[in-house]
Structure 1
Amino acid sequence: MQNPSSPSDSAPSPPSFPSSIFNFRDPKSILFVILAFSLISLLLILSLLSSSSSPSHPTPDPFLFPAHRMVFDETAPSDPSIAYLISGSRGDVGRLLRLLFATYHPRNHYLLHLDPSAPQSDRVRLALSVQSNPVFRAAQNVDVMGKADFAYFKGSSPVSFTLHGASILLRLSVKWNWFISLSVDDYPLVTQDDLLHILSFLPKDVNFVNHSSYIGWKESRKLRPIIVDPGLYLSEGTEMFFATQKREYPQAYRLFTGSSFSILSRRFLEFCILGEDNLPRILLMYFANTPKSLSSYFPTVLCNSGRFSRTIINQNLLYNSLDRRLDEPRALNSSDFHDMINSGAAFGRKFQPDDSVLDLIDKQVLGRSPESVLPGGWCLGDPGNETCSTWGDANILRPGPASRRLEKAIVKLLSNGTYRNYQCKFE
């Protein structure tokens, strides 16, 4: 009987391989192992490089943007592009989508926003509508803000909201040249092919901003009172807080007033948001306690900047009709159609939801069918509802009659000394 503790009774040893396979005393075996490990390492490195070089975001559809003229390529031709910030409120999903369709072009970029009064279900519905549209998916140029900003109509929070939207668009796209902020009360009076065509003849740093240094008693009510905007610290609207005292006008810079609507260049917005000059931040602090600061902030920054004071055109290309009793734009209707179209303006404000004049603009000016995107030179489909069912090159523009009206209006602004005589003039 064998002793249990003897070596012969231990666990069986693993099978041994023939020494002829891996003989580490043999130089050929050592070379084989080194080559095998080198090959495995090389394959691993190549796989890591290929995965890291793959794009992290989907790219635009090549049918819309042919490879030889990709709009997002830094070496592409310097054709114009616009960044739109489009905002609405509770129950405005339909109006916001209609405005998106009416201003759409694959070259542009769009940021959609619903304020905090809109339920989260509206925001989800808006995002799903964007994702389900084949043109938006192909161009990859429509985004929805997930976190809402509250902007009080009369305070300084609209400036904060505008700068926030512009900063997001600066990060989303590197190719746009102008920034336009629209609300669902606005509507285009020209096609995007018309607008982009006219802008292609202008310097990329030009800014369309109504402005004046004259401060009468009406403007005094917007500049001298000291207010606290609830939109800067509350999640919903309340009455604006007014201080009992009023402040004097500043001496370090000159104040200019204008309109809350403007067409601003990318270079100017980079100056306001990213620039090394402290002027935009100083004026942002000053206008933080001023009623209706959006109508004064950008004109004041532009006209007090030596770099941008000569880039401003004293016209914002917006058509509106003032209700003098309320000192606010009145609602436009079908009786205003011919006046607004013949004005040569690019946009109109303000419109009631689903007013018949919007259908008239769609039919006679934009050539847009209901629930469809604005047609342009990139659309190759059959006329009617399927105009943009077939896509062409998004860089092709086909301006129409509205471009001639817009061209005439801008030429008038730039001729006969009008441009310089009304540019940041201190009265």
Structure 2
Amino acid sequence: MQNSTAPAPSQSQLHWPSLSTFLNLRDPKPKPTLLLYSFLFLSLLSLTLILSLSFTSPSPHSGPDPFLHPIFHTHKPSTPSPPSLAYLISGSHGDSPRILRLLRATYHPLNLYLLHLDPSAPHADRDHLALSVQSDPVFKAAQNVHVVGRPDFAYHKGSSPVSLRLHAAAILLRLSQNWDWFVSLAADAYPLVTQDDLLHILSFLPKDMNFVNHSSYIGWKEAKKLKPIIVDPGLYLSEGTEMFYATQKRELPSAYRVFTGSSFSILSRSFMEFCILGEDNLPRILLMYFANTPSSLSNYFPTVLCNARQFNRTVINQNLLYAIHDSHRNDLRPLNSTDFDDMIHSGAVFAQKFQNDDPVLDLIDQKLLGRSPRSIVPGGWCLGEPGNNTCLTWGDAKILRPGTGSQRLEKAIVELLANGTFRSRQCIYE
């Protein structure tokens, strides 16, 4: 097992110029005018019945927090400029401590974060979460962590999880358009690499890539997940109730091909703009179709990607998540210390799901992330003394210090693109 404190791979060790041979992805279409964006944005909101959210964020400051000591570098990094990720971290009743831990484990000042507790959590939990963000000197100085004030319900079986993600992405686009990928994490997920590892590897990849498990083979899901008609109460009720199933069923669509996959994915900003602001009506048509379908989240994004001509060649059929499905419970099996070695060797970026404060999380912090309790994972931007509030002294956030996690991720992606099945697994009708 490699230790995360090993020296970072040099530029010469990364054979990334060869990736262009495998990818050969086209640039996304030119963006439409601002007027058309605004009109279609308002149309999408009315069609999906998504309510406007208010969110609380740290109060504005004219400069860094006085407890932080930024140090600015004038030299340019030798690697490509690192990208930025927009995170939605969501949870339910009692998940406030888990969200804070996950935030600290995935934090980087280049990223943007939106924290969401659903309505089942008491308002006091939401206030405590916002206060914890405001009182942390690093979050306070960077001004990149925001807490949703008016939350949405998100049922696992209905379409409200899709609504939540589209709404969160719209808020993140309103906060900033300087991010490159959208990542939605549940409170029971956890990273297996540092953000320096992840951003370092992503800096060599085209920014329109989408990491989504997908397949056109429906099988048993046709009768259980697609033909039944449901009404998701999360779209119109303020309290959680049972899902309503209609007695009728409907045929599969013929105007487009349905794809299925997993509920987790890493989606490009250009694709999220296409779903929320784009001039093509396909995302809204599919949104209305999946609004009354069980397990909409695992079907919606794969179907939009694979039916959109400008995006169906940007899909990687791998979501970079380590998870074990329990077929008896039709759910993910909780991970523990016995899964640790398999998680490392998988080359995954994230893992799900974990029990609250399971000892394996401490093992991941110690062996993979180098994170001490209640602290942020240190990166190249943290210049303080090790073990003594390392990240209270800032360097250049664009300077990354990747470790062995980047080597594992590099190997996984190179094998994924070089094994001869990259194109043959993209949005294929089976």
In structure 2, what is the Cα distance between the partners aligned to 1:144 and 1:87? Answer: 10
Q: Which amino acid aligns with 1:276?
A: E
Q: CA deviation at 1:192?
A: 0.2
Does residue 236 in structure 1 map to residue 239 in structure 2?
yes
Q: CA deviation at 1:153?
A: 1.2
Distance 1:219 1:316, change over 3 A: farther
How do 1:28-427 residues align onto structure 2 when only pairs under 5 Å count? 58=61, 61=64, 66=72, 78-427=81-430
SS in 2 for 1:182: strand
5+ unaligned residues in a row in structure 1: which ranges? 1-55, 71-76
- Give RMSD over aligned pairs: 1.8
Distance 1:267 1:60, change over 3 A: farther
In structure 2, what is the Cα distance between the partners aligned to 1:329 and 1:60? Answer: 44
User: Which deviations, in whole Å up to 9, do the C-alpha atoms of 1:27-75 show, x marking residues without a partner?
Assistant: xxxxxxxxxxxxxxxxxxxxxxxxxxxxx954663965859799xxxxx
User: Which deviations, in whole Å up to 9, do the C-alpha atoms of 1:67-102 show, x marking residues without a partner?
Assistant: 9799xxxxxx85300000001111111111000000
Q: CA deviation at 1:386?
A: 2.3
5+ unaligned residues in a row in structure 2: which ranges? 1-58
TM-score (norm 2): 0.82
- Matched residues, percent identical? 73
Higher-Rg member (1/2): 1
Q: Which amino acid aligns with 2:114?
A: L
Contact 2:213–2:317 (8 Å) recurs in 1: yes
In structure 2, what is the Cα distance between the partners aligned to 1:286 and 1:60? Answer: 47
Contact 2:69–2:393 (8 Å) recurs in 1: no
In structure 2, what is the Cα distance between the partners aligned to 1:150 and 1:334? Answer: 32
User: Which deviations, in whole Å up to 9, do the C-alpha atoms of 1:133-190 show, x marking residues without a partner?
Assistant: 1111111100011111111111000000000000000011121100000011100000
Q: Which has the higher contact order (CA 8 A, sep 6+)?
A: 2
TM-score (norm 1): 0.83
User: Which deviations, in whole Å up to 9, do the C-alpha atoms of 1:292-335 show, x marking residues without a partner?
Assistant: 10000000000000000000000000000111111211000000
In structure 2, what is the Cα distance between the partners aligned to 1:424 and 1:310? Answer: 8
SS in 2 for 1:418: coil
SS in 2 for 1:227: strand
SS in 2 for 1:370: coil
User: Which deviations, in whole Å up to 9, do the C-alpha atoms of 1:261-313 show, x marking residues without a partner?
Assistant: 00000000000000000000000000000001000000000000000000000
Distance 1:420 1:63, change over 3 A: farther
